Amino acid sequence: MNLTLRVWRQAGPDAPGRFETYRATDVSPDSSFLEMLDAVNEELIGDNEEPIEFMHDCREGICGTCGMMINGQAHGPRAETATCQLHMRSFSDGDEIVLEPWRAAGFPIVKDLVVDRAAFDRIIEAGGYITVDTGSAPDANLIPIEKDAADLAMDAAACIGCGACVAACPNGAAQLFTSAKMQQLNLLPQGQPERYQRAESMVEVMEEHFGSCTNMGECEAACPKGISIDFIAMMNKDYRKAKFKNRRTA
């Protein structure tokens, strides 16, 4: 396969950006999208040119760092597929592919296709953990958990924090990420002691960095793990209760 790439190049956060055109030749349909970019970068380095900066780590759809806009779609054309899991057989010989970083105010550009997702870390720091002292590790299955709750918590925990939900949202909202990271704890017995403190803190930090949800549903469609917007409704319910409970106990 021979492809034309139009790639967003930006030297730094304050530098002007532009699209540059590159050729990707003799691309195997069985190679991954990131392997194709590796080959392009090898040619650029061989020609003493600056390689394309993009994030990657596990390349197994787990870490979430590989996110980028591919032809205007977060992670590319295949549903529930991270960029690192996207194979070149999803494209056709002669295609033009446009690559851009996440376009969201909460994700400032660092360089080329790399954005700063530290705002996600701040949301987790606000309450995405359990601090209650539970002593030594209990025996397996000692705490009974309803299957429905366990299944929902596992669905929420599938979130890899890639930011596709924010990039796809017209408002740049982070409700899907925040609700998933919140409900993976709030749905379980271990998360109950700090449930409402967690809900209030995480939502209010989220609102400092990201836009508001207007139920467009683009976040669910773009999520590489298919996380449901039902979690947003659960988060909103917990937040409303939190504002009442935390005020009464203050």
**Helix (H) or strand (E) run with residue 178 in it:** helix 175-186
Class of domain 117-249: mainly alpha
- Look at the block and give the residue holding tokens 């304050």: 14
Phi/psi region, residue 3 (left: phi>0; alpha: psi -120 to 50; beta: rest), is beta
Domain ranges of the chain: 3-110, 117-249
Tokens of 58: 């596990």
Identical fold between 3-110 and 117-249: no
pLDDT, tens digit only, all 250 positions of the chain: 999 999 999 999 999 999 999 999 999 999 999 999 999 999 999 999 999 999 999 999 999 999 999 999 999 999 999 999 999 999 999 999 999 999 999 999 999 999 999 999 999 999 999 998 767 777 777 788 899 999 999 999 999 999 999 999 999 999 999 999 999 999 999 899 999 999 999 999 999 999 999 999 999 999 999 999 999 999 999 999 999 887 765 4
What's domain 3-110's superfamily in CATH?
Beta-grasp domain (3.10.20.30)
Interacting residues of 34 by C-beta distance below 8 A, sequence separation 6+: 54, 56, 59, 66, 83, 84
pTM: 0.93
